[in-house]
Amino acid sequence: MDPLQSYVAENRERWLSELCDFLRIPSISTQPEHSGDVRRGADWLCHALKQVGCDRAEVIPSAGHPLVYAEKMSAPGKPTVLFYGHYDVQPPDPLNEWVSAPFEPTVRNGNLYARGSADDKGQVMLQLKAVEALQKTAGKLPVNVKFIFEGEEETGGAAIAQFVPENKELLKADAVVVCDTELFEPGLPTLCIGLRGMVYTEVEVEAASHDLHSGLYGGVAPNPLHTLAWILAELKGRDGKIDIPGLYDRVIPPSATERASWQRLPFDAQKMLHEEIGSPALEGESQLGELERMWARPTLEVHGIVGGYVAPGAKTVIPAKATAKVSLRLVPDQRPQEVFAAFEKRVAELAPKSVRVKVRLIHNADPLLLDTSHPAMATAARVLSEVWTKDTVFVRSGGSIPVVALFHEHLGIPSIMMGFGLPDDNLHAPNEKFNLSNFYRGAETIARFLAAMG
Amino acid sequence: MDPLQSYVAENRERWLSELCDFLRIPSISTQPEHSGDVRRGADWLCHALKQVGCDRAEVIPSAGHPLVYAEKMSAPGKPTVLFYGHYDVQPPDPLNEWVSAPFEPTVRNGNLYARGSADDKGQVMLQLKAVEALQKTAGKLPVNVKFIFEGEEETGGAAIAQFVPENKELLKADAVVVCDTELFEPGLPTLCIGLRGMVYTEVEVEAASHDLHSGLYGGVAPNPLHTLAWILAELKGRDGKIDIPGLYDRVIPPSATERASWQRLPFDAQKMLHEEIGSPALEGESQLGELERMWARPTLEVHGIVGGYVAPGAKTVIPAKATAKVSLRLVPDQRPQEVFAAFEKRVAELAPKSVRVKVRLIHNADPLLLDTSHPAMATAARVLSEVWTKDTVFVRSGGSIPVVALFHEHLGIPSIMMGFGLPDDNLHAPNEKFNLSNFYRGAETIARFLAAMG
């Protein structure tokens, strides 16, 4: 073992204990009643950044949840690496499906179970620990480092979207390391080079002026829940095709090279179905491959329908209004504003004249495809291959990390998306976990990447 | 004013005060946390029945909420009239739409606002008060009276469905008076002779084994909320037609006589749309008249969809499962068990192979059409015309009162459905109300009906 590996091995328990402290804070950014907890998360993180040697570390207020900025600029003339992550987490519901409580981190079979363990507090912590380990073993940092962490990733990222364009000088760097993705399979070093964009909406249908008795008015009154069923069914059919005029016009199919590289990935759709999804079969555009559908095709999903009676038992109500939370994932070269406008227009067309329909844009993000020939990307690929002793693979993610598009546009630097989650980490779901050996090896990888950049 | 009218006038304030006491009990039968309140409602009612002179009054336990039975058999050789009503109420949600709190009865503009005021506690009370007033003014009752009240009308009526066939002798009577319907318009005496039946179901769609991140799996994973949209949209189209094979086979169209009588009713579809419903337009089978659609056609309604994320803000989840509460209203001569079987089969056909679907029957009721030539019905029509000084009209209701079918089948007696609610009483909705002059005049009507039966 070299000094870096020894240092990691000697500090495992302390690092785990600190991560658990971080995970105990229920920093749920989407729920107003948790805003105090989100603030506590920011304070905790700011303190941790000072502990690992940052000269400057501060909580930056915003109209919503605060940002946390830190830096250690102790290597004049050397490159600067910016780190990004988020300290907010998804709501934990449904609570009754968790084996251990979401905010009481618990280790089982080498995994740490807690809301936010993989997405993204565990991956934030391994960045801090990489800086700590490199300083302790090399004596000093061979590069300059900056950190920008947000508390609104799960709720649209408004604060950082405003902060980045207004603070280009502060955030100036040669590359940004984003640890919010996953390995393609356990042990396989992975760089993510593409992300889907996002248009998240609420479709509200207003029918009667008040809730109605379905016995008295059933047969003549519009039912907004049924209206939503008609609209949603027509927006996306059983073939997975989204029926919004113009939606696919800007979709760029993956290149022949990229398609060929996907063919070489250790991917088995049946294995994914049985081990990760668990439904009787897959759905979607069956004439296309599964990776293309997840990485390079737009989607339309309904996340929840509000309205009517949802408690146990029966109530024969026709609700006055109902709302569906509907998102679209976008791929290069789709534009969120165009897609939202086309969606809004299509929903209006599909609404019967017996109701009023409103569509609200909740948040959006651009899709992105990165250049694999950038020097920092090449360095990351090489270090990953060395630490994990396998060839690094290039993949895309079907998810959205809006901040990557921000860094690309305003700072002009590539995002090195080397994340250390795993496909079965249950992100946004009950029993979220983070593999502990990935936590430690991830920290080692980042430390060696910083050394190589220096 | 005759003695009866004087008695009613002198006792208005006391009667109102007693009704308010009854309404303050939140006897919500569909919510398990209110079962103690339902029991309190039964006890209160039992006490009130003793107060109006019943010789026997008791709370009868059941597997669910209790029944209340009472009688005063003091007129040997005279007919016996059975009274029916229910002391349970609908849930009050959405609470924020109530002008005054649902369980704090409040008088505004001659109306009493409270959950259960019209449906059905106000109408239960006017039966008791009719018996009180007749005794006080005539010295004694000219008929025998029995009362059977249930606490599960809003949740399927399991207890009374078991009690009636097992207690035919106890409940033996010449007619049953049911006060749980409404006047066709204010001041117009109305007898309801038809009711729709009911099949209330839950359709559960199971997809993945756990909630999924829509970024990672959107495009390949089934979304049970979208599955429900496909199923619901195909079950009932925009033309209001229900697409379940065989569903309409047993539907008997209204007779030419009944259709002609509907033509004479003071009914204005545009007025109903603007004053009672308030949506931009009506829906449904537009080739048929509105009264036929509400009274003599089956309907399919979705009452709530459970699953996914419904709190404020955004969560990009594909839920593992989702459930829709779906009811069908039935008309003569449809059979609930047949309809449920056809519904279940159709839902299974409409489900894609990527999900598992279960259909649960929550409760059901037979549809009914009564014989207008029965002597008790004729007496009721005559008394109504006298008290309200207008010709009595015969209508149907689109709602379901399952117990009427029970009385018909097991006791062999007709239900005289003379209710004193109004079309804008907001049953099952926020701001339910009961018109106070209908309360007092309803009590007078029932008292005169008892006198006429004697």
What count of Cα atoms within 13 Å lies in the side-chain half-sphere of residue B307?
28
Q: Residue range B39-62: average pLDDT?
A: 97
Specify whether A352 is located in the same domain as A437.
Answer: no
Minimal C-alpha gap between B388 and chain A (Å): 24
Specify whether B241 is located in the same domain as B184.
Answer: no
Tell me the average pLDDT of chain A.
Answer: 96
Specify whether A131 is located in the same domain as A21.
Answer: yes
φ and ψ of B148, to 5 deg: -130, 115
Residue B282 located in a structural domain? no
* Of the residues A344, A365, A386, the one at which a domain ends: A365
Inter-chain CB proximity B354 and A90 less than 8 Å? no
pLDDT recorded at residue B39: 98
pLDDT recorded at residue A400: 80
Residue A185 located in a structural domain? yes
Specify whether B354 is located in the same domain as B378.
Answer: no
Specify whether A421 is located in the same domain as A323.
Answer: no
B30: nearest CB among A97, A198, A314: A314
Which helix (DSSP H) or strand (DSSP E) does residue A46 occupy? helix A35-51
Inter-chain CB proximity A352 and B305 less than 8 Å? no
Q: Residue range B271-279: average pLDDT?
A: 95
User: Is the pLDDT assigned to residue A378 strictly greater than 90?
Assistant: yes
Q: What's the pLDDT band for A315 if we cut at 50, 70, 90?
A: confident
A210: nearest CB among B155, B278, B306: B278
Inter-chain CB proximity B301 and A226 less than 8 Å? yes
User: Is the pLDDT assigned to residue B401 strictly greater than 90?
Assistant: no
What is the distance between the alpha carbons of residues A40 and A34, in angstroms, rounded to a whole number?
10
Which DSSP symbol is given to B379?
Answer: H
Inter-chain CB proximity A154 and B31 less than 8 Å? no
Inter-chain CB proximity B30 and A312 less than 8 Å? yes
Specify whether A179 is located in the same domain as A301.
Answer: no
**B232 part of contact set with chain A, CB < 8 Å:** yes
Specify whether B233 is located in the same domain as B373.
Answer: no
What is the distance between the alpha carbons of residues A166 and A336, in angstroms, rounded to a whole number?
22
Q: What's the pLDDT band for B155 if we cut at 50, 70, 90?
A: confident
User: Is the pLDDT assigned to residue A446 strictly greater than 90?
Assistant: yes
* pLDDT tens string A131-182: 999 999 999 999 999 999 999 999 889 999 999 999 999 999 999 999 999 9
Tell me the chain A residues in contact with residue B222 when contact means C-beta distances shorter than 8 Å. Answer: 279, 281-283
Q: Which residues contact A191 (CB under 8 A, 6 or more apart)?
A: A372, A377, A380, A381, A384, A392, A393, A394, A395, A416, A417, A418
Residue range(s) defining the domain that contains residue A17: 3-195+367-453
Specify whether B427 is located in the same domain as B443.
Answer: yes
* Of the residues B343, B365, B387, the one at which a domain ends: B365
* pLDDT tens string B316-326: 999 999 999 99
Of residues B6 and B400, the one with the higher pLDDT is B6
Active-site residue, A88 included: yes
Q: Residue range B173-188: average pLDDT?
A: 95
Residue B257 located in a structural domain? no
Model's pTM, two decimal places? 0.81
Specify whether B110 is located in the same domain as B173.
Answer: yes
Q: What's the pLDDT band for A214 if we cut at 50, 70, 90?
A: very high
B198, B377 Cβ separation under 8 angstroms: no
Q: Residues 397..426 of B with a Cβ closer than 8 Å to A: which?
A: 397-400, 423, 426
Q: Residues 244..283 of B with a Cβ closer than 8 Å to A: which?
A: 269, 272, 276-283
Specify whether A145 is located in the same domain as A216.
Answer: no
User: Is the pLDDT assigned to residue B314 strictly greater than 90?
Assistant: no
Active site residues per annotation of B: 88, 153
A86, A124 Cβ separation under 8 angstroms: yes
CATH number of the domain to which B201 belongs: 3.30.70.360
Q: What's the pLDDT band for B424 if we cut at 50, 70, 90?
A: confident
User: What DSSP assignment string belongs to B82-118?
Assistant: EEEEE--B----SGGG-SS-TTS-EEETTEEESTTII
Is ipTM beyond 0.85?
no
Residue B265 located in a structural domain? no
Q: How many domains does chain B have?
A: 2
Inter-chain CB proximity B317 and A429 less than 8 Å? yes
Q: Report, in angstroms and rounded to the nearest whole number, the Rg of chain B calculated over CA atoms.
A: 23
Specify whether B47 is located in the same domain as B182.
Answer: yes
Q: Tokens standing for A110?
A: 């080498």
Tell me the chain B residues in contact with residue A318 when contact means C-beta distances shorter than 8 Å. Answer: 301, 303
Q: Residue range A48-61: average pLDDT?
A: 97
* pLDDT tens string A14-27: 999 999 999 999 99
Tell me the chain A residues in contact with residue B213 when contact means C-beta distances shorter than 8 Å. Answer: 399, 427-429
In B, minimum Cα distance to A356 occurs at B280
Residue A334 located in a structural domain? yes
CATH number of the domain to which A79 belongs: 3.40.630.10
In B, minimum Cα distance to A157 occurs at B314
Residue B272 located in a structural domain? no
Which DSSP symbol is given to B29?
Answer: T
What is the distance between the alpha carbons of residues A44 and A113, in angstroms, rounded to a whole number?
20
pLDDT recorded at residue A356: 98
Residue B173 located in a structural domain? yes
Residue B99 located in a structural domain? yes
Tell me the chain B residues in contact with residue A208 when contact means C-beta distances shorter than 8 Å. Answer: 277-279
Specify whether B161 is located in the same domain as B185.
Answer: yes
* Of the residues A345, A365, A385, the one at which a domain ends: A365
